[in-house]
Amino acid sequence: MDIVHAEVRRTTNLDGRPCAEVEVVTGDAGAANLLVYFAEAPDGGFEMVRVTENDADREIDWYDNPLHQAVVDRTDAFMNVARDGGSFGEQVLQFGSVREDVRRALGSVE
């Protein structure tokens, strides 16, 4: 899976942990965008805590649309994905300035 774009969208709390939400666009035809959530790890780095597939269409999903499930949890599918660049989470963090943007979003800039 090739990452063609990734950017920090916002910060949020997941299970009581502050997380940076990163939107990831892959080069896979017809694939939905992914929302990848990173939290600070005990070792001072970042850990990927959740991955969701975001199939929402902003034109029709600006309200609570019960007709389909726009966001699907895909964490299990991406936790063990690895390529030459390391784990999927590491590949996202290595894209452009994502690692620094996550650091800034979580307030851990020195």
Written as tens digits, the pLDDT of the chain (110 aa) is 789 999 999 999 999 999 999 999 988 877 888 999 999 999 989 999 999 997 665 555 555 555 555 678 888 888 877 677 689 999 999 999 999 999 999 996 44
Q: The whole model's pTM is what?
A: 0.82
DSSP-based helix, strand, coil % in the chain, nearest 5: 20, 40, 40
